[in-house]
A = this chain, B = another copy of it.
């Protein structure tokens, strides 16, 4: 730069807003802080990002591909949809998910459930479409909480919750998940975290990063805390039905009697199309407690005018034409990979994987005392990358020290190879 240019840059450098400066992505920060580059002598294996399409081994339902081709071919989905989404697309979401909620209610709350079930019937007005579940979360969190107020989020949790809260200058308070009890909510801790400035409780079920799936009884105990404090629950149910044998996914709305449930989701994971950026907010509002919030969310949707029209055009077919058997098949594949990962990792000294019950994630505890020269989860992941070229996310990215997360979407070949490298690495660093 010339002297004049330097002067111009100094004089007239445009500073970003405080909001921009507050908006940080912990994953990016952690990945950046893993300053090392992977061992160039070994083929890289990335099990760090929650993108089920990365390895190409998971089969996409042909109906999904067909649906988008059909929607594009009609030439009808090029104009502006309403900011909250086309009525027909919102209606498809309302019908698909509320039918499932009602089925679950009827099967698990056998007495006197007709009224409960009926009131969980959503219509298109109860749904707002969003540009991915991320955007749904942005609207809900910013739509419910003011600066100086807080929402309760789990520790560990998907980092975007905090990213959004930080960006809008909102507080988060963490409640504890118990690794020794299948990552269930520590209900006492949850209760104690509520203060006079708490606006909502966020529950992630099935959970990223834990891979846990909550029972009806557990959800009821969480609902009791929300009801006691008269708080709504934001249910991040993006892994809807992605559970393994012996487990059942219970949508939170299906067991809530008095607590309003704001359920967010997306086609991203269930249909293996995270790049398509289509998600939703569903308001399960039996007692008309969300009437004003709904108006607020509709206003917020105006800001960027909703998700892509073509995907909205394809949405009814994606939801209605992909058979249940596809989801069962996908769950089987994921479960098989999960078990394989778990078994490979459970024999390794110094590591303790927690059995996943669903999703695409397994959390593994690292016991630093067992190792000669590994100080933390970040240190573990950093050295593993350097020596073995395997990329994992340390628990710190999720607010949880001494764990790392493995994404088990890849084929067994890759997962096995990664597990072997992890085993060798761990052995090499064990305390003698």
Contacts and interface: CB of A to CB of B under 8 A. Distances in A.
Interface of A: 1, 5, 8-9, 11-21, 23-25, 28, 49, 51, 53-54, 60, 65, 68-69, 72-73, 75, 77-81, 83, 131-132, 134-135, 138, 142-146, 160, 163-164, 167-168, 199-200, 230, 232, 258, 260, 272-277, 287-293, 295-297, 299-300, 302-312
Contact of A304 (B77, B134, B145): B134
A432 to B, nearest CB: 42
B17 A230 contact: no
Tell which of A8, A16, A144 has the most Cβ of chain B within 10 Å.
A16
Contacts of A15: 292-293
Contact of A163 (B12, B28, B168, B302): B302
A53 B68 contact: no
User: Copies per complex?
Assistant: 2
A79 B65 contact: no
A24 B9 CA distance: 36
Nearest to A232: B14
B19 A292 contact: no
A395 to B, nearest CB: 20
Nearest to A144: B17
A79 B299 contact: no
B131 A304 contact: yes
A24 B260 CA distance: 25
Contacts of A309: 275-277
Contacts of A25: 83, 299, 302
Contacts of A8: 258, 287, 289
A290 B14 contact: yes
A248 to B, nearest CB: 28
Contacts of A16: 143-144, 292-293, 295-297, 299
A299 to B, nearest CB: 4
A302 B303 CA distance: 17
15 contacts: A14-B200, A16-B296, A17-B142, A19-B143, A20-B296, A23-B296, A51-B79, A68-B72, A80-B274, A134-B305, A163-B303, A275-B309, A276-B309, A307-B308, A308-B311
Contact of A131 (B75, B131, B146, B288): B131
B143 A20 contact: yes
Given A18-B146, A145-B17, A277 B12 contact: no
Contacts of A21: 296, 299
A75 to B, nearest CB: 7
B276 A308 contact: yes
A276 B78 contact: yes
Given A72-B68, A131-B131, A275-B81, A300 B14 contact: no
B78 A273 contact: yes
Given A14-B232, A60-B78, A291-B13, A132 B275 contact: no
A180 B75 CA distance: 41
A60 to B, nearest CB: 7
Contacts of A199: 14
A298 to B, nearest CB: 9
Select the residue from A13, A131, A275, A306 with max chain B CB neighbours within 10 A: A275
Contacts of A232: 12, 14
A18 B15 CA distance: 26
B17 A296 contact: yes
A131 B304 CA distance: 7
Given A12-B260, A12-B287, A138-B303, 11 more contacts: A13-B291, A16-B296, A19-B142, A19-B168, A23-B299, A131-B277, A131-B307, A160-B303, A167-B303, A277-B306, A277-B308
A5 B285 CA distance: 11
A53 B12 CA distance: 42
A294 to B, nearest CB: 8
A138 B53 CA distance: 30
Contacts of A311: 308, 310
